[in-house]
Amino acid sequence: MESMWSIQVAIIMIFCNLFTIGIGRYAIKVRGLGASIPVLGLEGLGLPELLATTSLGHIIGAGTILGLRSIQYL
């Protein structure tokens, strides 16, 4: 049986999450309602915004991975 996860799958998921965080930083109009996350150095990007963007990133990443598997690229 083939392994479900590989380094390619991990890279795709990480890329999708970073992509949506980058888009969300500029697309979310009302942000900074919670405490900002000083570790990331992103002013105004708080925990609610981070959770929202990474949730969307996981949905996009899962769709990308399933799509690439259906065409047998992965």
**CA–centroid distance for 17 within its chain:** 2
Question: Across residues 21-39, what is the average pLDDT?
Answer: 75
Using a CB cutoff of 8 Å and minimum separation of 24, what contacts does 1-6 make? 6/74
For the chain, how big is the Rg over CA atoms in Å? 15
User: Is the predicted pLDDT of residue 40 greater than 60, yes or no?
Assistant: no
Note the pTM of the prediction, 2 decimals: 0.77
| Residue-level pLDDT at 3 | 66
pLDDT, mean over the chain: 83
pLDDT at 1: 42
What is the spatial distance between Cα 64 and Cα 17, in angstroms, rounded to a whole number?
12
What's the confidence (pLDDT) of residue 15?
96
Residue 68 has pLDDT above 60, yes or no: yes
